[in-house]
Amino acid sequence: MTRHIDPSQPPALDQITLRSPGELADALPYLMGFHPDDSIVLVALHGDHGRFGGRLRLGIPASPGEWPYVADQLADCLVSGSERRASRPDGIIVFLCQDPSAGEKGRDVMERLRPLAQRLRTACGALDVPVLEAICISGGHFWSYCCPDARCCPTDGTPLALPGTSVMAAAATYAGIQVRGSLREMEARLAPLTEPASAVVAQEEALDAATAELVPRILGGVDRETVRKETLTLIRGLVQRLGRAPAPGRPTEADTADDGLVTDEEAAAIILGLQDRTTRDRAAEWVEGPEADVALRVWRAIARRCVGAYSDHAAAPLTLVGWVAMSTGDEPTARVALGMALRVDPDYLFAKLLHQGANEGLDPELLRECLRQERGTRAPRRPTRMATQPPSGRPHGRTRPGGHASRGRARARRRAGQRRA
């Protein structure tokens, strides 16, 4: 399980006053940037007016036996994280979001999750931070665990407002905030392909062939730099190819179109090549200018090709998705991608560092500058004549007549004569 913490929000949302559980429920997708289905969400409040602070999201554990431990950890994480970034919260809002399973209704989900809501309230209270509201969202309805008045919070739940009709939706639109669908839909864009089955088999066979060819070359060391150059050349080719073919507007259609532009062999070679840390770090340099959006499409497509036994290879492309999204200001996509990378490999250091940086409000420009400097050290430098030993082995400045040194002295004499004139 991976925690997602959002430390900030656009200034336009600071001007919105939310007074009821219904307005809070409607605001949740705009606070997170997506619909957090199957999630626990905690939102910190600060000051007398309840200004929104950090937000924390975690998938709801399937086993109720995990709920006490998870509640304690989430409460401590939000409170301590808020203290490090700004100040201790004055209150917390709890959201539990989960769609009904087969045979369930939204009210059944609400009652089933009631012990979790109570445990979260207890955990926050133990840290002297009260839970001011706890809301369950399920099946298009919401319930308040804190309001006992059936006149405003009926037992059968209250329907959610139609999308885009609330004051929060208007403010979010004005601020340029987008809701990128549900968490499930965002993760589906990065998940391994499962159909058609023939395509999955073909991709896994290509990965088998690439493993047999490239792994010995990478591990052997002698040919490692050549493999790096070949991988980066393939990536550069894909960035150019996808850049010439703008993606359709709908995400599913765009992903399908991009998948059709990447061959199984190309994807396999890039997936294997990215397992080398140096190659991955050089690939992370595609984060600026118009290439950044295209690079995001490339990394999504590569992550989807980590199928079958190679699903654990997805940590590298998923982390690159997260890095490019983070660098371009798409924090919701960055958090989802980095969370998936850490589910694939909890010890993947690059993903851990980026995830921590996102949680602590790290400015991506700091890392971009490091990448620029690293790229600068690799740039070929023009040779300096006086800094190299002449091929003949004679000392510098004692070249044969007609050589560079003689010509240089002649030019110096001419310039001196011009200055005297």
What is the structure's pLDDT at 41? 95
Q: Count CB atoms within 10 A of the CB of residue 284.
A: 22
Which candidate, 170, 154, 111, 184, places its Cα nearest to that of 22?
154
Task: Give the start-end residues of each E strand in 118-195.
Answer: 131-138, 141-144, 158-159
Angle between helices 349-359 and 315-327 (to 10 degrees): 30
Q: Which two tokens stand for residue 347?
A: 């010890």
What is the structure's pLDDT at 283? 92
- Specify the 3-state DSSP secondary structure of 45: strand
Eight-state DSSP code of residue 395: P
- Say how far apart CA 187 and CA 189 lie, in whole Å: 5
Three-state SS annotation for 269-296? HHHHHCCCHHHHHHHCCCCCCCHHHHHH
Edge-to-edge strands, sheet with 158-159: 4-6, 51-59, 39-46, 91-97, 131-138, 141-144, 158-159
Eight-state DSSP code of residue 134: E
- Say how far apart CA 65 and CA 69 lie, in whole Å: 8
- Say how far apart CA 38 and CA 123 lie, in whole Å: 20
The sign one gets for the Cα dihedral 330, 183, 67, 140 is positive
Give CA separation, 131 vs 42, 136, 145, in Å: 9, 14, 11
pTM over 0.85: no
What is the structure's pLDDT at 64? 95
pLDDT in tens, the chain (421 residues): 445 545 445 444 455 667 688 888 888 888 888 889 899 999 999 988 778 888 899 999 999 999 999 999 999 999 998 888 878 999 999 999 999 998 999 999 999 999 999 999 999 999 999 999 999 999 999 999 998 888 888 888 999 876 655 666 666 665 566 777 889 999 999 999 998 999 999 999 999 999 999 998 888 877 889 999 999 999 999 999 999 987 777 888 999 999 999 999 999 999 999 999 999 999 998 877 778 899 999 999 999 999 999 999 999 999 999 999 999 888 889 999 999 999 999 999 999 999 888 777 777 777 777 777 776 676 554 444 434 444 444 333 333 334 444 444 444 444 444 443 3
What is the structure's pLDDT at 418? 41
* Domains in the chain with CATH codes: 4-182 (3.40.140.10), 189-375 (1.25.40)
Phi/psi for 327 (5° steps) reads: -70, -30
Residues 6+ apart with CB under 8 A from 239: 286, 291, 294, 295, 298
- Say how far apart CA 244 and CA 105 lie, in whole Å: 48
Q: Count CB atoms within 10 A of the CB of residue 26.
A: 23
- Say how far apart CA 236 and CA 332 lie, in whole Å: 26
Tell me the pairing of strands 131-138 and 91-97: parallel
